[in-house]
Homo-oligomer: A and B are copies of this chain.
Amino acid sequence: MKAFVMQEVGETGFTEKEPPEAGPTDAVIRPTKGLVCTSDVHTVHGAIGERENLTLGHEVVGVVEEVGDQVAKFEPGDRVAVGAITPDWGSAAAQDDHPSQSNEALGGWKYANVKDGTFADYAHVNEADANMAHIPDGVSDEEAVYVTDMMSTGFMGAENAEIPVGGTVAVFAQGPVGLMATKGAALQGAGHIIAVETVQNRQELARTYGADDVVDFAEGDPVEQIMDLTDGEGVDAAVEALGTSGTFEQCVEVTKAGGTISNTGYHGEGEYVNIPREAWGVGMAEKDIVTGLCPGGRLRLQRLLRLLDRDRVDPTHMTTHEFPFDEIDEAFRLMETKEDDIIKPLIHFE
């Protein structure tokens, strides 16, 4: 089969591979639509270390090709969404309500990390009954592919923020995860949503997804702007959706005592992420710092698909570009340069 791989750090390309096989509890699917994630680009650049001919990709929907003999809920031909994170549900961490941390930190993240990813003619799904969901008839593949990562991760950012009904929240950075955190805040009943972003089409989408105010950090210190917008009080919660120590620090600064900082960003650089000591109330201001990795699992996928099925959210506004699988390298190139105001490129496998 054809697979789009990271040959080594810095090198990508197509290669031929043996198709995967399904163990007793697994499935093999044939992807129909996929999305390229910024983390794929980071991976190519060595963020998780050296890899050899590792198939890239982890956001995908498709059709079931084969199931193991212990799989009960799916059969070949089923149209399914597969979680970007595919936990080991019997692991201690999953039993402790942290399935994304199966067996080790971030252990639920397998695709394009510890096993081949989904940018290929076929992809393997571990614990298929637990890690896939049927796509409802009323939901297109183009929509459904967003539940696998962007909606699950972004909404998690808002859920972890524990925003009270009518509360205030600031979401730092309006890439696709940040946009979905903004939408997630709206879905949690936030009363005042402040998005931080400087790119114009992202600012506009932020408003589409529920932001009441958009703070442009190119026009002044975002902390000051947010304090002004909240009458000096700060926000009940801040969501970090970029992955830099600088934005993280700003999150701590704008959050009121007793509030929550919810981190969704992948922090790829530096020895430390810094907590500003005084803004943190010298360690006693009850500003909790919460993090998470994209929740996976059939139940999560079903719930997110239900939101699509009932038109609670339209993630396809984020699909700024489309490519056939053959041209996926161009999608990677654009995701790296962020040229042409790209947000998410949709990959068509057929």
Task: Give 1 or 0 for each of A112-156: 1 = CB within 8 Å of chain B CB.
Answer: 000000000000000101110000000000000000000000010
The answer to whether A167 touches B95 (Cβ under 8 A) is no
A104 to B233, CA, bound (A): 9
Task: Give 1 or 0 for each of A97-110: 1 = CB within 8 Å of chain B CB.
Answer: 11111001111000
A92 to B72, CA, bound (A): 13
The answer to whether B89 touches A90 (Cβ under 8 A) is yes
The answer to whether A101 touches B291 (Cβ under 8 A) is no
Given known contacts A184-B165, A297-B95, is B290 in contact with A267 (CB within 8 Å)?
Answer: no
Identical copies of this chain, number = 4
A299 to B168, CA, bound (A): 12
Q: Name the residue of chain B whose CB is nearest to the CB of A164.
A: B303
Given known contacts A274-B275, A300-B95, A304-B166, is B191 in contact with A310 (CB within 8 Å)?
Answer: yes
A270 lies within 8 A of chain B by Cβ:
yes
What residues of chain B lie closer than 8 Å to A285, measured between beta carbons?
101, 105-106, 291, 293
The answer to whether B275 touches A281 (Cβ under 8 A) is no
Task: Give 1 or 0 for each of A180-197: 1 = CB within 8 Å of chain B CB.
Answer: 000010011101100000
A20 lies within 8 A of chain B by Cβ:
no
A298 lies within 8 A of chain B by Cβ:
yes
The answer to whether B277 touches A271 (Cβ under 8 A) is yes
B-binding residues in A (CB < 8 A): 23-25, 70, 89-101, 104-107, 127, 129-131, 155, 159, 164-168, 184, 187-189, 191-192, 212, 240, 243, 248, 256-258, 263-277, 280-293, 297-300, 302-307, 309-310, 312
